[in-house]
Structures are given as C-alpha cells and as structure tokens.
Amino acid sequence: MCWSAGADAVAGVLVGGVGVACLLRVKDPRRLPLAALPLVLGVHQLLEALVWLGADGRIGPGAAQAARTAWALVALVLLPVLVPFGVRCAAGPGAPRRTAALAVVGCAVAVPLAVAVLRDPVTVQVRGHTLAYAVGVPWAPVWAVGYLAATVGALLVSGDRVLRLLGAVTGIGAVVCAVVWRLAFASTWCALAAVAALVLFAWSGSPSGAGAPRRAQ
C-alpha cells in the first residue's frame, strides 16, 4: 500500500511491469509461480488505488467494497499460499523438507482468513496518509505468526542465497513499514514491494541452482 491513490497506481504499474519482465526472463518453468509474485504485488497496488478512491467517495460503494474484498483476498489468502508454494517449486526435487511444511502452514492460514474475508464486509479507515483495514479474524495473533512463517520463513529456509536475501529484506522491511504505518505518517509498503520485485527480477534471470549454497564434497 502507498500513501494515496495516485502513488498506488504508479507503484502498481511499475511493480507489475517488473513482474511481466520476470515472467519473460525466467528459463525454468519451476520458477514461474515465484516469478509471478511481482505481478501479483503490482495488481495488489492497483486494487488499493481503487480502495483509496472508495474511501474518498470517488467511486460507488459497490465498487469500493469489491476493491476492499479483492485487496484482502490477495493479501491474506493468495500470498501465504503463493510464496511457500513458489519457493517449493523453484527448489525442485532437492527442496528442503521445511519448505513443504511451510507450504502446508500457508494453506492452513489461508483457509480461515478466506472465510473471514468472505463472511463479513472488509472495512477501511483513512488514518493520516495510511489506510487501516478491518477484517473480523478470530485468533488473529496465531494466524499472523503462521502467515509470517509461510511467507518470510519459506524464503529464509529456501536454500537459495538470493531468496534468503529476499526473506531477510522482506522481514526487516515489514517491521519498518509496520512502525511507520502505525505512526500514520505514511505507508511505505509499496517501496518494499518494489525492492522485492527487483530482487526477484535478478533471481528470475539467473540459472537454476545458481543461488543455492555449495555442498561440501
């Protein structure tokens, strides 16, 4: 998310463009799910541009609610499944077993979050230069831990140096963005999405296994 509809729209186009480039650069089909992540993040930014327009009353309530629901489904349901699944696929037969376990965790987290999003209307409130979403999720701290394990954790245990770097950057960046967001100063999640997209752009064009640590002979 960014600090305005215009900023979200620009970020969405740029990050989505990097996502298309990632998909065109990738040579190993097993890398396609993870290479698609920047495109998903770009679409996510464009959805939030619509959420901003709805919050400002510049689009109808039906379209605004649809945008909020779609945004929540991408953030809370699609990402915790896509990231660990993409890591698992990219690693191929030699993937660490932990990646499979975290993919299961991602699915386990996505199901109750999907139920919560589809059961009750997603609401949003403008706070300074940020948007505060409200989704009726019981046991939210539990699902938050599982969410982070499935997304950031999967990258950190991937066995690929570039993906581990992405996991570290994402984890640290998420903490910084959350602090700035809670201060209602400005939302900087779009900057984190852009950095993640650039890392994946570099990764998508590298040979398969290029970022994997060498094993002792």
For residue range 58-68, what is the model confidence (pLDDT) as tens digits? 999 999 999 99
Flag whether 28 is in a domain.
yes
Phi, psi of 185, rounded to the nearest 5 degrees: -75, -55
Flag whether 210 is in a domain.
no
Task: Render pLDDT for 36-92 as a digit per residue (tens, 0 to 9).
Answer: 999 999 999 999 999 999 998 899 999 999 999 999 999 999 999 999 999 999 987
Range(s) of the domain holding residue 44:
5-204
Flag whether 214 is in a domain.
no
* Rounded Cα gap, residues 217 and 215, in angstroms: 6
Residue type, 46: L
CATH number of 142's domain: 1.20.1070
pTM of the entire predicted model: 0.89
Burial label, 171 (beta-carbon count in 10 A; 0-12, 13-18, 19+)? middle
Flag whether 142 is in a domain.
yes
Flag whether 164 is in a domain.
yes
Flag whether 144 is in a domain.
yes
Residue 109: CB partners within 8 Å, gap ≥ 6? 80, 143, 146, 147, 150
Positive/negative CA dihedral, 33, 138, 148, 6: positive
Contact 194, 10 (CB under 8 A): no
Flag whether 162 is in a domain.
yes
Number of independent structural domains in the chain: 1
Flag whether 59 is in a domain.
yes
